Homo-oligomer: A and B are copies of this chain.
Amino acid sequence: MEQKQKSELTKQLILDESFKLFYQNGFKTTSVDKIMKATNLTKGAFYHHYKSKKDLGLEIISSTLQKRVYDGMITPLYQDGNVLDILESTFSGRLKSFSLFAKKHGCPMNNFINEIADEEEAYQIALKRIIEEWKAALVHLLERGKKENTINKSYSSNAIATYLISSFEGVRGIRKLYNDDQILDEYINGLSLYIDQLKA
């Protein structure tokens, strides 16, 4: 079993280093050479574990990116408590928790979406899966709010979920243009106003 363990470790190293580089410099302009330089391994190792750069990209999406969104934006939605509070704390709390690096480089998933989703259907499908699960979690939470009479029943949960996700991903891109957090503060302000108006 020792061999399989080492193999897994190497794959994880490639995954970790490539994610960092994709996040910093984009997917297309990060070469396999650069990735393997960061791992201190060689190209031979890369092509032993992945059949292509595209193959690696798909695994980054379905493992690293998926996990990030789950941990940061989906799992928190399933906690107990007031629906409006959960919405507010999940969205604005996550924004406030970002490092300078994360603010500068935006949302890694959104970066992938904007860079390659319109070029390869395989990427599109893998990324869509994450968004759909995020949306489903939001809809589930909003439906609970309607049952508990904290969310206005006349509003479409799908519409609210889509609007929330869109604005969140949007501002993570726009923040790249600035060197301070004013735009994030304004966003949180606008978000808070929006959530407040979802009340029953």
Q: Complex Cα distance A152/B33, Å?
A: 56
User: Chain A interface mostly helix, strand, loop or mixed?
Assistant: helix
Q: Complex Cα distance A124/B161, Å?
A: 30
The answer to whether B187 touches A162, judged by C-beta atoms less than 8 angstroms apart, is yes
> Which chain B positions have C-beta within 8 A of A155?
193
The answer to whether A115 touches B118, judged by C-beta atoms less than 8 angstroms apart, is no
The answer to whether A165 touches B170, judged by C-beta atoms less than 8 angstroms apart, is yes
Interchain Cβ contacts under 8 Å between A and B, 15 examples: A28-B28, A106-B114, A114-B176, A128-B177, A156-B186, A159-B189, A162-B187, A162-B189, A163-B191, A166-B168, A166-B170, A166-B190, A167-B167, A169-B174, A197-B197
The answer to whether A190 touches B160, judged by C-beta atoms less than 8 angstroms apart, is yes
The answer to whether A114 touches B117, judged by C-beta atoms less than 8 angstroms apart, is no
The answer to whether B170 touches A171, judged by C-beta atoms less than 8 angstroms apart, is yes
Q: Mark A147-186, 1 if CB is under 8 A from B, else 0.
A: 0000000011011111111111111011011100001001
- CB of A21, distance to nearest CB on chain B (Å): 13
Q: Does A110 contact B (CB under 8 A)?
A: yes
Q: Which of A's residues lie within 8 Å of B, judged by CB?
A: 25-26, 28-29, 104-106, 110-111, 113-115, 117-119, 124, 127-128, 131, 155-156, 158-171, 173-174, 176-178, 183, 186-187, 189-191, 193-194, 197
- The chain B residue with its CB closest to the CB of A29 is B28
Q: Complex Cα distance A151/B19, Å?
A: 44
With A163-B167, A165-B174, A176-B124 given, is the CB distance from A115 to B113 under 8 Å? Answer: no
